[in-house]
Amino acid sequence: MAAQEAKLVERKAKRLALTGNYAVAYAVKSCDVDVVAAYPITPQSPIVEKISEFIANEELDAEMVHVESEHSALSAVVGAVAFGARAFTATSSQGLEFMHEILFIASGLRLPVVMAIANRALSAPLNIWNDYSDVMSARDAGWITIFNETAQEAHDAVVMAYRIAEDPRVLIPTIITLDGYILSHTVEPVEVIEREEALKFAPKRPRGYRPVLDPDKPITMGVVGTPEYYYEIKYQLIHAMRESVKVIDEVFSDFCKTFGRCYERVEPYRMDDAEYVLISMGATFGEVRAAVDKLRREGVKAGGLKIKVFRPFPADLLEKYIGGGNVKAVGVLDRAVTVGGATEGPVFNEVATALALRGIRLPMVSFVHGLGGRDIFADDVVKMFKILMEHASRGESARRTYFIGVRE
Amino acid sequence: MVYYAYFQGKAPDVTKKRFKTVWDIPKEELLAPGHRMCQGCGAAIVFRHLLKAVGKDVVIVQATGCVEVTTTVFPETAWRVPYIHVAFENAASVASGIAAAIKALKRKGVLPPDKKVKVVATAGDGGTFDIGMQALSGMLERGDDVMYVVYDNEAYMNTGIQRSSATPWGAWTTTTPVGKRWRGEWRWKKDIVGIALAHRVPYIATANPAYPLDLIEKFRRAFETEGPSLVHVLSPCPPGWRIPPDKTIEVAKLATLTGMWVNLEIVEGQPRVTVKVPKRKPVKVYLKMQGRFRHLRDEDIAFIQKVVDAEVERINKWVGEEAIGPVVEE
Ligand SMILES: Cc1ncc(C[n+]2csc(CCOP(=O)(O)OP(=O)(O)O)c2C)c(N)n1
Ligand code: SF4
Ligand SMILES: [Mg+2]
């Protein structure tokens, strides 16, 4: 694994016991954001509460816009970034849905907004616990999307997100996720990136390096795009998203050199000789690791792949890890559903497409688990591997999603 | 009468006028000609004067609507000042974000502390009275340094003349058609000035393009207010109101002369009528000019007259003088 290969970087790092939410807030402080606008929603609220404390204590010099909704939170952040500020917002679940319209506008305007999402299920029924339905519903909105497995990852992701989003080759808004409660409210030791380090790694550029609202150089943003132009303008975003892979890899690699913590868009776990592979993301991947270890002890060649960067979708790395010839079957554990979809697993559908288009024909199985905070245990994942092995032995994909852990 | 003890900011000095004659109005056109607004569009006049009043050191935020779609068709733009359109309901929130950015960047030395730049949010009646109400309320309540201009053509014009909560009683629109059961709009216009006042906004004004000096002076004052300000401008719309394009100013003038529209200025709670009307004309001269009121019967017009009379009485009482006189039939 990349992280284990990394050279130890000599740093005197400050370690603090932080929840995932606070880990995000500390990173936002270190990035010296200028404007913050957010609206309370569980489980995100402590991020903005902590940032408010930083501002109140003059630890962060920023303007806080106490907006009356998430729609306005993202709108205010869009305005601030269009004017040339570095800005931040955070939300969860219903709040993200309420922002939905503006998600597409932020990416369409190519504004490097950074937003944290503490993942939570969508109503109805009302549920404040973890799953990924919220961020999955933003998957077509044109945002770079980085999933995180630990509080440390979420902390690091904020700093990297500013550098990626603001890169003139990218200029795409970026979401970083943290699993509601599982990360957002769980205390972990976190190596905090200090302000000087963060601003060295993700420097603030001169205000005019990208088009901004400036009376000395007036521009019009948010135009009407007729059929003669709309398509090309959208295509530029598509192109930039594709090209952002290079920048993301560059930033990950530089981060590894600078801070000694190394990330990859897809992270393998015991994949070297793996025959049965389960793909997952975020904190859910912890259960995949545990199940892989358990099965390895039983002599099963199990492996896991963690999708760290979901947008742009890392098809190239999936091919690299799965297409080597060892793998006999691939499963995807989705913690969200696309009701009525080709399968109900949104990530599965993309993995299946990516592999099929690259000529990788293996039995594939879609699993869903953990909706609305239903606990996923390592044994549930072991069960998924067993189902996967069964399909491998029959040489057959599952036509329908397996719903694990549900009372039918 | 002072409504509230304190306000969300500070109104400018209103004892002096900058725009005393038309010669004081700058010649420079910051809204370029060649936009696609209809002939005779009231909003075109409103925005030309707005930019003349506020000058170049401004950022315009505009909600989706007629003016936005007619002035920003890529690759052209009519705006010679920085301009952003984001969506229909959030002009006030986008403007709040920009105001916050201006403040933060000045404090942090990215912009010189004396850099003159202010944000102006603009929206139609739909984008203000209806879908944008929540964002507007948030911006006003927080005391953000934003000037807000609502151009009120009394319906959703961009989407084809549907009613809004600013549509006047009796008006035909495509969603309040005249039929057997319905006879145009049957509810009264929402009181946006009262709503702004309830937010303790230090400078609130109503204006009308038929009185350009009054209009532009109010724009100037709203722009120089520290904190939020709101200017509510009547904006006749020839296709929506069913009037010929050369009657825009005439109809706008009649709105004021009949007392259907009162040009007000409310400075830190102190109301004043800025265009006094000693002899009022009957509302029917205003209504009869417009196709959208064509179906009104005599008793409907009499009803509107009664309500307007009562409203005039209320305003006179409020401002403490007989600013609007009685109806004098000619
Ligand atoms: C969320 C949303 N709902 C509906 C629309 C469609 N829409 C665009 S402009 C408009 C009407 C605008 O009315 P108003 O604010 O009065 O401005 P006008 O066009 O009359 O100048 C509507 C309904 C939209 N763009 N966005
Ligand atoms: S429809 Fe009315 S408001 Fe819209 S551009 Fe034409 S005249 Fe102006
Ligand atoms: Mg309108």
Q: What is the ipTM of this complex?
A: 0.97
Q: For residue A217, tell me if it sits in a domain.
A: yes
Domain with A317 in it = 266-403
Ligand 2, residues at Cβ distance < 6 Å: B 37-38, 41, 43, 66, 70, 153, 157, 237-240
What are the residue boundaries of the structural domains of chain B, listed by start?
2-276
CATH number, residue A210 = 3.40.50.970
Shortest distance, CA B138 to any CA of chain A (angstroms): 6
Count CB pairs under 8 A between chains A and B: 164
Q: How many Å apart are CA A211 and CA B129, to the nearest integer?
A: 32
Question: Tokens standing for B285?
Answer: 């001269």
Residue with tokens 């709009």: B185
Q: How confident is the model at residue B2 (pLDDT cuts 50, 70, 90)?
A: very low
Identify whether A314 is part of a domain: yes
Q: How far apart are CA A402 and CA A391, in angstroms?
A: 12
Is there a contact between B105 and A83 if contact means CB atoms under 8 Å apart?
yes
Domain count, chain A: 2
Mean residue pLDDT of chain B comes to 97
Looking at all shown ligands, the one closest to residue B236's CA atom is 2
DSSP state of B261: S
- The pairing of strands A35-37 and A63-65 is parallel
End-of-domain residue from the set A216, A237, A259: A259
Low pLDDT (below 50) residues in chain A: 1-6
pLDDT over threshold 50, residue B295: yes
For residue A1, tell me if it sits in a domain: no
Ligand 1 pocket, residue B8 CB under 6 Å: no
Q: Which atom of ligand 2 is nearest to the CA of B124?
A: 3
A95 and A37 in one domain? Answer: yes
Q: Which CATH architecture has domain B2-276?
A: 3-Layer(aba) Sandwich (3.40)
Answer whether B175 contacts ligand 1 (Cβ < 6 A).
no
The C-alpha atoms of residue A242 and residue A312 are separated, in whole angstroms, by: 6
8 Å CB contact between B309 and B281: no
- Interface check for A55 against chain B (CB to CB < 8 A): the answer is no
What is the mean predicted confidence (pLDDT) over B275-282? 98
The pLDDT of residue A11 = 67
SS3 A188: strand
The answer to whether residue A5 is domain-embedded is: no
CB B95 within 8 A of CB A79: yes
Asked if residue A7 belongs to a domain, the reply is: no
Of the listed ligands, the closest to the CA of A222 is 1
Asked, for residue A9, whether it belongs to a domain, the answer is: no
H-state helical runs in A126-272: 133-136, 151-166, 195-201, 230-259
Question: pLDDT per residue over A105-127, tens digit each?
Answer: 999 999 999 999 999 999 999 99
- pLDDT score of B151: 98
Across the interface, of B81, B93, B119, the residue whose CB is closest to A218 is B81
A245 at interface of B, judged by CB pairs closer than 8 A: no
Per-residue model confidence as pLDDT tens digits over B9-34: 999 999 999 999 999 999 999 999 99
Atom of ligand 1 nearest to the CA of B152: 16
Q: Are residues A291 and A188 in the same domain?
A: no
Q: Do B90 and A80 touch (CB under 8 A)?
A: no
Residue A191 is predicted with a pLDDT of 98
Q: Where are the alpha helices (DSSP H) in A19-124?
A: 20-30, 45-56, 70-83, 93-108
Of A223, A240, A259, the position where a domain reaches its end is: A259
**Closest chain A residue by Cα to residue B139:** A67
Taking the CA of residue B42 as reference, the ligand 2 atom at the shortest distance is 8
Distance CA(A279)–CA(B237), nearest Å, equals: 59
Would the CB of B161 count as within 6 Å of ligand 1? no
Whether B104 and A35 lie within 8 Å, measured CB to CB: yes
Atom of ligand 1 nearest to the CA of B43: 21
- Report yes or no: B89 and B127 within 8 Å, Cβ to Cβ: yes
Question: Which ligand is located closest to the Cα atom of residue B241?
Answer: 2
> Which ligand minimizes its atom distance to the CA of B35?
2
Kindly state whether residue A386 falls inside one of the protein's structural domains: yes
Contact of A209 with chain B, judged by CB distance below 8 Å, is answered with: no
Nearest CB among B72, B107, B108 relative to A224 is that of: B72
Within a domain: residue A3? no
Partners of residue A78 in chain B, C-beta under 8 Å: 86, 94, 97
Q: What is the pLDDT of residues B89-115, one digit of tens each?
A: 999 999 999 999 999 999 999 999 999
Q: Is a pLDDT exceeding 80 seen at residue B294? A: yes
Alpha-carbon distance B195 to nearest alpha carbon in chain A (angstroms): 16
A249 and A101 co-located in one domain: yes
| B contacts of A113 (beta carbons < 8 Å) | none
pLDDT at A9: 58
In this structure, how many other beta carbons lie within 10 angstroms of the beta carbon of residue A22?
Answer: 26
Residue B284, min C-alpha distance to chain A (Å)? 40
Residue nearest to atom 4 of ligand 2 (CA): B66
Residue in chain B nearest A99 by alpha carbon: B90
A213 close contact with B: CB closer than 8 A? yes
On whether both A195 and A275 belong to a single domain, the answer is no
| B124 Cα nearest atom in ligand 1 | 15
A215 touches chain B (CB under 8 A): yes
A105 CB neighbours in chain B (<8 A) are: 86-87
Q: Do both A220 and A306 map to the same domain?
A: no
CA distance A117 to chain B (A): 20
Average pLDDT of chain A to the nearest whole number = 96
Averaged pLDDT for residues B294-322: 98
Cα separation of A351 and A316, whole Å? Answer: 11
Same domain, A34 and A181: yes
Same structural domain, A255 and A121:
yes
Residue nearest atom 1 in ligand 2 by C-alpha distance: B157
For A218, name the nearest residue in chain B, comparing CA atoms only.
Answer: B82
Examine the fold and report which residue of A243, A259, A275 is the final residue of a domain before the chain moves on. Answer: A259
Alpha-carbon distance of B62 to A350, in angstroms, equals 38
Q: What is the CATH number of the domain that holds A325?
A: 3.40.50.920
Q: Distance, CA B136 to ligand 3 centroid (Å)? A: 16
